[in-house]
Amino acid sequence: MTAAREPGVATVEAARDGDQRALDDLVSGYLPLVYNIVGHALGGHEDTDDVVQETMLRAVHGLSSLRDPAGFRSWLVVIAMNQIRLRHRERERVPVTGPMVEDIADPGADFVDLTIMRLQLSGQRREVVAATRWLSADERELLSLWWLEAAGRLTRAEVANALDLTPQHTAVRVQRVKAQLDSARIVVRTLERTPRCPDLAEVVADWDGDPSPLWRKRIARHARDCARCERCGTDLAAVEGLIARLPLVPLPAAFAFDPSAPAGAHAVLSHAAGDPVTTGKIGLLLKGAFVKPVAAAAAAVVAAGIVVAVVPSREEQPVANTIAVATGRTPPVTTVASSSVPVTTTTTVPSSTSVAAPPPPPPVTPVTVAAKKGVSTWNFDGVGKALTDVRAGWYYNWAVHPDGVATPPNVEFVPMIWGTKFTDDATIARAKANGKVLLGFNEPDFPDQADMSPEQALDLWPKLAATGLRLGSPAVAHSGDKPGGWLDRFMSGAAQRGLRVDFIAVHWYGSDFGDAAVGHLRNYLEAVHKRYGKPLWLTEYALIDFSGGSPRYPSPEQQAAFARGSAAMMESLPYVERYAWFALPADKPGTGLYAPGGTPNQAGLAYRDAG
């Protein structure tokens, strides 16, 4: 099967202007590229098809806002990489309610096997593809882009843009991955030698048979030191030459279009003015025709034009943004957003609709904002002692009541209406009784958090405003400063409907662990404040890097330096009313400040003494 030729600028412009046939051609032409990027990056994981679909959906929804049609491919690759990283984060954020399920590739959809089979590879080309199994998640992410660069499908500028790196830094990263790939090629050869080296048999005696970076290093070390196996590293051809003429891996049958289907035959959605009408082939995409069969507990569904992953029900307890799985009673568990910014789905401000005027709310309770410094927490051994020791003026726990947390004197509890399921009258009344300030919905821009459209949040907002409490905006996970982002659409809609929002709440997580991290946070806060002109509450923040397959944390010294510097910075900004570190408990590895029993770690001491 030959990959479709990528459409040109004229097709992009026509699709952006609403030409349905051009939109179909655009999706058909670029789907193979996206499939190959995601397939190589995720190594054939069962989420591959879902990530491909979500990437194309986001591109279609955001097409009307594309300013430079000549840059469509680069823009699309950025969306794909953001969805890959989001997939890594979201799998961490699903609350654990049963036995842990291994995060492994779907044996029936292994991208390495598909590549070898569909491209009929042999010799060193087959070895190169097989070697990719031995790379780490972040190495595969970079390889997915460089592979297509070497094959002539992407430019170095597009690769650098997708990685958010300079071309020079990209070149350094590429060289490192190529070295790891060559090491993995030696591993493949060493393991395939017959008869197997007796010394190698001892090395791999405890190996479970699953390729991993750790075993790559062990087996490669053996190959270098073993007189029998060292020849496996000879005559390796340059990897660029081996993949330079490789075609794209053909799309699986689940992604096949029916070229005979008339345009418009599968119309499923209508969009606000300016968005393309979704008919024809992209209509099939939106209907879910490209979604692979349900595997395990994962599936994809279409709701309001957005495809989201099905996650376990949270009817009993809202899920708070924590990294580790807590013991005992299960507090809210999930990971957090990095500073990577996924492309927004539309820049169209929600159109005005007839909405019944809500009853006038009671007067707003006057509040004098106390100490800025706060924490997010859940109940753990020593929480009261830790709240006192950290010298925070306030805290919250993603709920409407303290939920067993012993609140020290002079420390304020701030309730939150976490999501849609907590907007009943009784819950809202309980929130009003437990605080003077009310936090809005938690990360409504994330499918496994509050998961609400701006319009849904706006429809429910009068119930929150009717409490008379000082009211903070929904706290978005990212892109709070972006035109057309979730928060921007919410604030525009609030202005249209005359709804009250007293301050802006946002979250921020940084992947730069160096001295510049405090400056990155300040730039984001300044941009958000400049956009809305309201006081800011930073209700979750810390340093975590989600660019790889699992969260990467800074050293204790780096996290402590950031805690100290960021608190001092925010104390100096008059428009920052409050900020809260994520999170107070350090009962698992991550960003916590106090170990069970209420003993501060290095970051805890720094945060305690700052602010």
Task: Answer whether residue 448 is part of any domain.
Answer: yes
Looking at residue 563, what is its pLDDT? 97
Confidence of residue 500 (pLDDT cuts 50, 70, 90): very high
Dig out the tokens for 260 from the structure: 């005979």
- Domain end, chosen from 237, 255, 273, is at 255
Looking at residue 363, what is its pLDDT? 56
> Per-residue pLDDT averaged across 210-226, rounded?
89
Q: Both 467 and 597 in a single domain? A: yes
Looking at residue 130, what is its pLDDT? 83
Confidence of residue 517 (pLDDT cuts 50, 70, 90): very high
Q: How far apart are CA 570 and CA 606, in angstroms?
A: 15
| CB-based contacts of 143, cutoff 8 Å, min separation 6 | 40, 41, 132, 135, 177, 181
As a whole-number percent, the residues of the chain with pLDDT over 70 amount to: 72
Please confirm whether the linkage preceding 583 is cis (ω < 30° from 0): yes
> Per-residue pLDDT averaged across 57-83, rounded?
87
Average pLDDT, the chain: 77
Cβ-count burial 268-281 (b if 16+ within 10 Å, e if not): ebebeeebbbbbbb
Contact call for residues 442 and 475 (beta carbons, < 8 A) = yes
SS3 of residue 498 by DSSP: coil
Domain of 523 in residue numbering reads as 373-609
Q: How far apart are CA 246 and CA 436, in angstroms?
A: 63
At 123-182, the pLDDT tens digits run 787 888 888 888 888 888 888 888 788 877 788 888 888 888 888 888 888 888 888 888
Q: How many domains is the chain built from?
A: 2
Task: Answer whether residue 593 is part of any domain.
Answer: yes
pLDDT score of 99 more than 90: no
First to last CA, the chain: 62
Candidates 299, 334, 370; CA nearest to 544 is 334
pLDDT score of 497 more than 60: yes
| CB-based contacts of 234, cutoff 8 Å, min separation 6 | none
DSSP string, 513-566: -STTHHHHHHHHHHHHHHHH-S-EEEEEEEE-B-SSSS-B---HHHHHHHHHHH
- Domain end, chosen from 205, 231, 255, is at 255
We report the CATH number of the domain holding residue 442 as 3.20.20.80
Task: Answer whether residue 146 is part of any domain.
Answer: yes
Task: Answer whether residue 270 is part of any domain.
Answer: no
Task: Answer whether residue 367 is part of any domain.
Answer: no
Q: How far apart are CA 497 and CA 454, in angstroms?
A: 13
> Per-residue pLDDT averaged across 534-546, rounded?
94
At 423-472, the pLDDT tens digits run 999 999 999 999 999 999 999 998 879 999 999 999 999 999 999 999 99
**Burial label, 163 (beta-carbon count in 10 A; 0-12, 13-18, 19+):** buried
Looking at residue 121, what is its pLDDT? 62
pLDDT score of 231 more than 90: no
Confidence of residue 100 (pLDDT cuts 50, 70, 90): very low
- Domain end, chosen from 210, 232, 255, is at 255
Task: Answer whether residue 51 is part of any domain.
Answer: yes
Q: How far apart are CA 278 and CA 129, in angstroms?
A: 37
Task: Answer whether residue 65 is part of any domain.
Answer: yes
SS3 of residue 492 by DSSP: helix
Three-state secondary structure string covering 358-373: CCCCCCCCCCCCCCCE
Confidence of residue 570 (pLDDT cuts 50, 70, 90): very high
Task: Answer whether residue 564 is part of any domain.
Answer: yes
Query: Which residue would you say has higher pLDDT here, 341 or 611?
Result: 611
At 323-345, the pLDDT tens digits run 332 333 333 333 333 333 333 33
Q: Both 215 and 87 in a single domain? A: yes
> Per-residue pLDDT averaged across 582-600, rounded?
93
